[in-house]
Amino acid sequence: MSGHSKWHTIRFKKAAADSKRGKLFTKIIKEIIVASKLGGGDMESNARLRSAVRTAKDANMPKDNMERAIKRGTGELPGVHYEDFLYEGYGPGGVAILVEGTTDNKNRTTPEIRHIFSKGGGNLGESGCVSWMFTKKGLITIVAEGVNEDALTEAILDAGADDLANNGDTFTVTTDPLALESIRSSLEAKTYKILNSEIAMIPNSTVRVDEKHGATLLKLLSTVEEHDDVSKVWANFDISDEIMERISSM
């Protein structure tokens, strides 16, 4: 199975667990603050804020939390100054990795991420070293229970989506980033249960990893994503389901 599809599934399950601990809320609030700071507090004219609030709702964040975050971003309430970052590097087996996030102190975050990469068998690179290997896409995660795959395929094509992947308990729909909101709305209107939608960095090609590199790589990706300032991690690995099952049972 390709890395972006497998890792997207793992990330989603991790996010569900994180939300119970409140960790996911903290990361979403940072995104709402930055989005409203850069584009204003009006969701109709601020696509990034609209997407962040949609993610907050998917995670069942209380409305008051969202509203306070927006006001911190627009300056109506005092708050911490946050800025975006994108780190690029390589993991075990030569796998390309992108790390997206938000921090209030890059002088603290950069060496911490660099240390995680180094300890996990990878290394951070210069800006632009791997980002050219990825293409920005929209991803929509749908509950698979009770869904007819043929009917869903027809529905996503009618809505203008690019592709559909069956992950077992979920389906992942790939879209043009600009069409993400309209396609999600179209699927919701047909009563499909949407778990999550996001803008993702999809690899243009993948690197096949064996069991040894796969185990080390997945540990590195998980450790990076657990960092408080990191929101998303993307990688261009390809790993078989058989190897994935063995790694998961270790």
Per-residue pLDDT reduced to its tens digit, 218-236: 899 989 998 999 999 999 9
Best CATH choice for the domain 84-125+205-239 from the list 3.30.420.40, 3.30.70.980, 3.90.1150.10, 3.40.1180.10: 3.30.70.980
Write the pLDDT tens digit of every residue in 18-57.
555 567 888 899 999 999 999 999 998 998 999 999 989 9
Fold of 3-74: Arc Repressor Mutant, subunit A (1.10.10)
For the chain, what percent of residues have pLDDT higher than 90?
A: 65
Q: What is the pLDDT of residue 79?
A: 79
Q: pLDDT confidence of 144, banded at 50, 70, 90?
A: very high
User: What whole-number distance in Å separates Cα of residue 139 and Cα of residue 168?
Assistant: 16
Residue 214 is inside which H or E element, if any? helix 211-226
Q: Does 84-125+205-239 match 133-203 in CATH topology?
A: yes
Residue 208 CB neighbours (<10 A): 13
Both tokens of 221, joined, read: 């990706």
d(CA 60, CA 113): 29
- Rounded to whole angstroms, the Cα distance separating 204 from 134 reads 5
Q: What residues does each domain of the chain span?
A: 3-74, 84-125+205-239, 133-203
pLDDT at 16 over 60: no
Res. 142: pLDDT tops 50 = yes
In this structure, whether the domain defined by 133-203 belongs to CATH 2.40.30.10 is answered with no
* Residue 73 contacts residue 37 (beta carbons within 8 Å): yes
Q: What pTM did the predictor assign? A: 0.82
- What is residue 1's predicted lDDT score, i.e. its pLDDT? 42
